[in-house]
Structure 1
Amino acid sequence: MLEILLSHISGFELVEMSNRKTKSNSRMHAECFSQVQRILRERFCHQSLQSNLFGVEVQYKHLIELLKRTAIYGESNSILIVGPRGSGKTMLLNHALKELMEIGQVSDNVLQVHLNGLLQINDKIALKEITRQLNLENVVGDKVFGSFAENLSFLLEALKKGDRTSSCPVIFTLDEFDLFAHQKNQTLLYNLFDISQSAQTPVAVIGLTCRLDILELLEKRVKSRFSHRQIHLMNSFGFPQYVKIFKEQLSLPAEFPDKAFVERWNENAHCLSEDSTVREVLQKHFNVNKNLRSLHMLLTLALSQVTASHPLITSADLMEAQRLCSLDSKENIVHGLSVLEICLIIAMKHLNDIYEEEPFNFQMVYNEFQKFIQRKAHSIYNFEKPVVMKAFEHLQQLELVKPMERTSVNSQREYQLVKLLLDNTQIMNALQKYSNCPTDVRQWAASSLSWL
Structure 2
Amino acid sequence: MSKRKSKDKSLPIGECIFQVQAHLRLRLLQLAHPGKRCGVESQHKHLVELLKRTVIHGESNSVLIIGPRGSGKSMLLQDALREIQAVKELKENALAVHLNGLLQTSDKIALKEITRQLHLENVVGDRVFGSFAENLSFLLDALKTGDRTSSCPVLFILDEFDLFAHHKNQTLLYNLFDIAQSAQTPITVIGLTCRLDVMELLEKRVKSRFSHRQIHLLNSFSFSEYQAMFKELLSLSSGFPDVSFAEQWNASIQSLCENKTVEDILQKQFNASKDLRSLHMLLLLALCRVCVSHPNLNAADFVEAYRLRCVDSKANILHGLSVLEMCLIIAMKHLQDTYQGEPFNFQMVHNEFQKFVQRKAHSVYNFEKPVVLKAFEHLHQLELIKPMEGLSVRTQKEYRLMKLLLDNSQILEALQKYPNCPTDVRQWAMSSLS
Tell me the CA shift for residue 125 of structure 1: 2.0
Tell me the CA shift for residue 27 of structure 1: 8.0
> In structure 1, the residue corresponding to 2:12 is in which secondary structure?
helix
**Partner of residue 202, structure 1:** 186
Matched, 1:65 2:49: yes
Between 140-149 and 298-307, report the one with greater CA deviation: 140-149
Between 417-426 and 311-320, report the one with greater CA deviation: 417-426
Between 116-125 and 69-78, report the one with greater CA deviation: 116-125
- Counterpart mapping for 1:303-318 below 5 A: 303-318=287-302
**Partner of residue 111, structure 1:** 95
CA 1:204–1:359 in structure 2 vs 1: closer, same or farther (change >3 Å)? farther
CA 1:27–1:199 in structure 2 vs 1: closer, same or farther (change >3 Å)? closer
Tell me the CA shift for residue 265 of structure 1: 0.4
Matched, 1:436 2:420: yes
**Partner of residue 166, structure 1:** 150
Matched, 1:330 2:314: yes
Between 109-118 and 161-170, report the one with greater CA deviation: 161-170
CA 1:420–1:169 in structure 2 vs 1: closer, same or farther (change >3 Å)? farther
Tell me the CA shift for residue 440 of structure 1: 2.9
**Partner of residue 255, structure 1:** 239
> In structure 2, the residue corresponding to 1:212 is in which secondary structure?
coil
**Partner of residue 121, structure 2:** 137
Between 248-257 and 44-53, report the one with greater CA deviation: 44-53
- Counterpart mapping for 1:35-434 below 5 A: 35-104=19-88, 106=90, 108-160=92-144, 166-347=150-331, 349=333, 369-383=353-367, 395=379, 398=382, 400=384, 422-425=405-408, 426-434=410-418
Tell me the CA shift for residue 163 of structure 1: 9.0
Structure in which a larger fraction of residues adopt helix? 1
Tell me the CA shift for residue 183 of structure 1: 3.0
- Distance in 2 separating the partners of 1:377 and 1:74: 81
Specify the code of the residue in structure 2 equivalent to 1:188.
Answer: L
- Distance in 2 separating the partners of 1:165 and 1:32: 55
Tell me the CA shift for residue 47 of structure 1: 5.0
Specify the code of the residue in structure 2 equivalent to 1:238.
Answer: S
- CA deviation profile, 1:339-371 (whole Å, cap 9, x unmatched): 23322433455677769676856x776565445
Tell me the CA shift for residue 217 of structure 1: 2.4
> In structure 1, the residue corresponding to 2:42 is in which secondary structure?
helix
- Distance in 1 separating the partners of 2:20 and 2:376: 47
- CA deviation profile, 1:380-429 (whole Å, cap 9, x unmatched): 2334567656655665665546788899xxx9x97697967732243344
- Percent of matched pairs sharing the same residue: 67
Tell me the CA shift for residue 284 of structure 1: 1.5
Between 110-119 and 340-349, report the one with greater CA deviation: 340-349
Length-normalised TM-score, structure 1: 0.82
> In structure 2, the residue corresponding to 1:78 is in which secondary structure?
strand
Specify the code of the residue in structure 1 equivalent to 2:293.
Answer: S
CA 1:313–1:216 in structure 2 vs 1: closer, same or farther (change >3 Å)? same
Count of aligned pairs between the two proteins: 425
Tell me the CA shift for residue 20 of structure 1: 9.3
> In structure 2, the residue corresponding to 1:191 is in which secondary structure?
helix
> In structure 1, the residue corresponding to 2:191 is in which secondary structure?
strand
Length-normalised TM-score, structure 2: 0.85
Between 73-82 and 186-195, report the one with greater CA deviation: 186-195
CA 1:204–1:334 in structure 2 vs 1: closer, same or farther (change >3 Å)? same
- Distance in 1 separating the partners of 2:404 and 2:49: 49
- Distance in 1 separating the partners of 2:423 and 2:186: 73
Tell me the CA shift for residue 248 of structure 1: 0.9
Tell me the CA shift for residue 162 of structure 1: 7.4
Mapped contact 1:43–1:51 kept (Cα < 8 A): no
Structure 1, unaligned stretches of length 5 or more?
1-18
Mapped contact 2:145–2:152 kept (Cα < 8 A): no
